[in-house]
Amino acid sequence: MPTNGQTGLPRRIPELTRLPRPLYARAESLSAGSWTPPHTHDWVQFSYAISGVLGVHTAEGSFFAPPQWGVWIPAGLEHEVVTSMRAEMRSLYVRREDCPWASLRCRVLEVTPLARELIKGFCQLPVEYPEGDTAEARLVQVLLDQLASLPEVGFSLPLPRHPRLLALCNELIENPELAVTLSDWAGRLGTSEKTLMRLFQRETGLSFRGWRQRMRLLSSLDTLEQGHSVTTAALSSGYDSTSAFIAAFKGLFGITPGELFR
C-alpha cells in the first residue's frame, strides 16, 4: 500500500457497532489533507465526492473518485480514505444481508443522476427512518436497486505484492513525472526486461506502460480539481504534450479534462 505522507487532520471514524437500519448515511465537508487511518467495518461502504477527489487505498491498490463518481468498499476490507484538497463527501453504509449482490472487491462506480437524487433524498431522512410499508423504506429499496446497477469505471490503480516491485511502483506514484523505463527497472531489480514484463503483468494485470499511463492520469486529477490548467496537469504528471495527455485522459475517463471538471 502506498504511503500517503498525510499532513492534514485525521477524520473521525463513526463509532458504530451495528447499523440501526439497512442503510445509513454520512455527509461530510472535508478539509484539504483529510485522511483516515487504516480500518475495517462489518458493512459495505459507498462513498462519493460532490466536489474534490477521494482516494481509497487498500492492499490491492488505490481507487480514485473524481466528482460524481464513487468508491464501493466491501465489508471487512481494510482501507484508508484520503483527500488532498477540500471535498464534499457523501457515504452510504449498507448492511451485508441487505446487499447480497454486492461485489467482494473494491470498485469505482459512476453515480447516475437518478442515484444522486436518491442519495440526496435519503440523506435528509432520520437515522432510524420508519420501516415496513412506508415511503421511506420504499425509497431505501429503490436506492439499493440503483446501487446494484451502477456502471463500473476504470479509476483504479492495482498494486503488486512483490516487495521490490511494490517499492518501485510507490516511487513512481510519489513522482509521476519520472521518466523511468522498463529497462531502468529491470536493471535495478537485477533481471531482464522480458522477465520483469511478465512479472508486472502477473502482479497487476496491466503492462508496465499501461500501468504507468493510468498512474499518471490518476495523479493529474488533484491538479485539475485545484483549478490548474490542463498544460500544468500534463507536465506535472509526466506528459510532454498537452494533446497526448488529453487523448490519453479521454481514453481512460471517457471525457476530456475540461468536461470532467466543468
Average pLDDT for residues 191-216, to the nearest whole number? 92
For residues 15 and 171, the model is more confident at 171
Domain ranges of the chain: 23-153, 160-260
pTM tops 0.85, yes or no? no
In CATH, what is the architecture of 160-260? Orthogonal Bundle (1.10)
Q: Rounded CA gap, 74 and 118, in Å?
A: 21
The predicted model gives 40-48 an average pLDDT of: 93
State how far the Cα of 224 lies from the Cα of 227, in Å rounded to an integer.
5
Mean pLDDT calculated for residue range 33-44: 88
Say which residue, 155 or 233, is predicted with more confidence.
233
pLDDT of residue 115: 94
And the C-alpha cell for 255?
471525457
- Give the Cα separation of 74 and 51 in Å (integer): 23
Cβ proximity of 180 and 226 under 8 Å:
no
| Predicted pLDDT of residue 244 | 94
Query: In which band, very low, low, confident or very high, does the pLDDT at 262 lie, cut at 50, 70 and 90?
Result: low
pLDDT digits (tens, 9 = 90+) for 121-145: 999 999 999 999 999 999 999 999 9
- Do 160-260 and 23-153 fall under one CATH topology? no
- pLDDT computed for residue 4 by the predictor: 46
Measured between alpha carbons, how far is 22 from 144 in angstroms, rounded to an integer?
Answer: 10
Q: What is the mean pLDDT of residues 141-170?
A: 91
Residue 53: per-residue pLDDT:
83
Whether the per-residue pLDDT at 229 is higher than 90: the answer is: yes
Q: What pLDDT, on the 0 to 100 scale, is given for residue 34?
A: 81
8 A C-beta contact, residue 20 and residue 177? no
Residue 35 has pLDDT above 90, yes or no: no
Q: How would you write 17-64 as a 3-class SS string? A: CCCCCCEEEEEEEECCCCECCCECCCEEEEEEEEECCEEEECCCEEEE
Q: What gap in Å lies between CA 103 and CA 128, rounded to an integer?
A: 26
Grid coordinates given for 57: 487505498
User: Looking at residues 172-194, what average pLDDT do you find?
Assistant: 89
Residue 213 CB coordination number (10 Å): 19
Q: pLDDT per residue over 82-118, tens digit each?
A: 887 777 889 999 999 999 998 889 999 999 999 999 9
Task: State pLDDT tens for residues 60-78.
Answer: 899 988 888 999 999 999 9
Task: Classify domain 23-153 by CATH number.
Answer: 2.60.120.280
Q: What pLDDT, on a 0 to 100 scale, did the predictor assign at position 131?
A: 95
